Chains A and B, each alone.
Chain A
Amino acid sequence: MLNFNIDFTGEFVAFFLLSVCAIVGAVLAINFTKVVHTALSIALTFVALAGLYIVLEAEFIAFVQVLLYVGAITILMIFGIMMTKHDGEGTEPARPLLETLAAIGCLCLFGILFYAIRNANFPAQHAPFTDDNTREIGKLLFTQYAIPFELVSVLLTVAFIGSIALAKREVNTP
């Protein structure tokens, strides 16, 4: 279970650096006390994930990831944070018992995940690889997955209209 046969190709180096960036971003997001710093470190994680998609040769998903998560969601978060006041930020009192229990739980989770991943059997067969994967995604979306795709867009429209309705009602009440 514990044999790591890794050859140091460019792909491995890129994967290693990007995953370190993703993990560092996630850890910093938990540790920073200022909320804007947290939002920025989450953005770092998102960018690193986009890099991982590029390593997997899924450019379209990578750039959509940057476009939506970094370009839209992070900015929305920063916006929300800036619009609200954060005077009460500070360090919380330490709770040693709770922290020890949380650490044990995390270690157990890591052990289970590690065991499961090392034991998993990945089928060696690959999907036929095409150069133009954007075109393939489009074809699949409009043939095989047309109905789920339409359903998701209906769901998004409903959410959109719902949020507008909620925001409007707030204005009307005195």
Chain B
Amino acid sequence: MQHFWDKSLSWGTAGIFVAAAIGVLAVVIFFVTYAIYFERKFIGWMQYRKGPNRTGPLGLLQTVADVSKLLLKEDTIPKKADRGLFILAPALAFIPSFAVLAFIPYTLNLQFADLNVGFLYYIALSGITTIAIVVAGWASNNKYSLLGGMRSAAQMISYEVPLVMSVVGVVMMSGSLNLRDIVISQEGYFWHWNFLPQILGFGIFLIAAVSELNRTPFDLPEAESELVAGYHVEYSGFRFAFFMLTEYIYVYAIASLTTILFLGGWNSPIPALDFVPGLIWFFLKFAVIVFCLFWIRATFPRLRVDQLMGLAWKALLPLAILNIFLTAIGIEWIG
């Protein structure tokens, strides 16, 4: 995609950009549909249930049916809600989540925007989604949603810090913020991938990422037993669908980022397997990460709300800073 940027903007190249954006949207919606299906299936199997199996063969059309139900539902806006912000919030949450996908390099040549700032782009845009979540909680004019929005904002701000700090080690080892250069620097056997030399950073990144996604050990913003549903209590129909879509797009983005930063992106585990296309390696690693997210969700209990902030500031952040020092010492001594 990159060579289209350097050409001047004509109707042809603009058409290619629009077509590519629609293509990514289609891929993402397909991913979200089947991520939800497999999430329910996996959790079902882990809990000795069958999971969805009625709609379509093997229940494959379950999510399609759910989404069409959401789209056909009546769209309700509470009387005392702040109407403008209530309508704005889902869009404000979705737009940055989709824009985040522009910078992911799937293979050496398949990437939409080659940014020098790389990882910062993701963090910056996900901050805008946090605003949207707080605003959604506030605009609904509901105690539960306000509490959910507050918790979500506090959590996302706190865990952003160790998330960024844990990636600093990777950036130091590859000497670049650019995601493509980071993947290229991990070429070779699988022990050259960053997850082994950066095992501490990898662990911190995973914990902070799960927390950023508001998923189960850290799903306090939508803890059903305390808050009904969290910041989207009052939302229904397609506005609710937008929030769900946003959450799953961030799952997609985080899984891609983990693959790129720590698991060697499109590189094959041993050079002898190079004949398999890079896109397939990328997809396999990506699928493993997504599966791990489901696995964590099915097996971990939820954190208590008073332990949540302590974990980010007192455990993860010092460890992340320690990781930076260790990486610097390692680069200095081993080279």
Contacts and interface: CB of A to CB of B under 8 A. Distances in A.
Contacts of B131: 40, 43, 70-71, 74-75, 78
Given A10-B9, A60-B120, A66-B124, A71 B160 contact: yes
A10 B128 CA distance: 26
A87 interface: no
Nearest to B115: A59
Interface in B108-136: 115-117, 120-121, 123-128, 130-131, 134-135
Interface string A41-66: 00100010010000000011001101
B157 interface: yes
B150 A79 contact: yes
Contacts of A50: 124
A132 B175 CA distance: 12
Nearest to B134: A78
A63 B96 CA distance: 13
B115 A71 contact: no
A79 B150 CA distance: 7
Interface of A: 10, 34, 36-37, 40, 43, 47, 50, 59-60, 63-64, 66-67, 70-72, 74-75, 78-79, 82, 131-134
A67 B134 contact: no
Interface size class on chain B is 20 to 34
Interface of B: 9, 82, 84-85, 115-117, 120-121, 123-128, 130-131, 134-135, 138, 146, 150, 153-154, 157, 160, 177
A67 B153 contact: no
Q: Which 6 A-B pairs have the closest CB atoms?
A: A71-B127, A66-B124, A63-B124, A67-B124, A63-B120, A63-B117
Nearest to B119: A63
Nearest to B84: A37
A19 B109 CA distance: 34
A75 B128 CA distance: 9
Nearest to A132: B116
A79 B116 CA distance: 32
A66 B125 contact: yes
A92 B146 CA distance: 29
A43 B138 CA distance: 16
Contacts of B160: 71
Given A79-B150, A79-B153, A82-B150, 9 more contacts: A36-B85, A50-B124, A64-B124, A66-B127, A67-B124, A71-B157, A75-B127, A82-B134, A134-B117
10 contacts: A50-B124, A60-B117, A60-B120, A63-B123, A67-B124, A70-B127, A71-B130, A72-B127, A78-B135, A79-B150
A50 B124 CA distance: 11
Given A10-B9, A75-B127, A79-B150, A40 B157 contact: no
Contacts, number: 76
Nearest to A75: B153
Contact of B85 (A37, A43, A47, A71): A37
B124 to A, nearest CB: 4
Contacts of A47: 128
A132 to B, nearest CB: 6
Contacts of A78: 131, 134-135, 138, 153
A40 B135 contact: yes
A67 B156 CA distance: 12
B281 to A, nearest CB: 28
A40 B150 contact: no
A134 B125 contact: no
A59 B116 CA distance: 8
A47 B95 CA distance: 13
B123 A67 contact: yes
Contacts of B134: 75, 78-79, 82
A145 B154 CA distance: 34
Given A36-B85, A47-B128, A134-B117, A71 B135 contact: no
A72 B164 CA distance: 14
Contacts of B138: 36, 78, 82
A36 B135 contact: yes
Contacts of B150: 79, 82
A36 B89 CA distance: 13
A66 B127 CA distance: 8
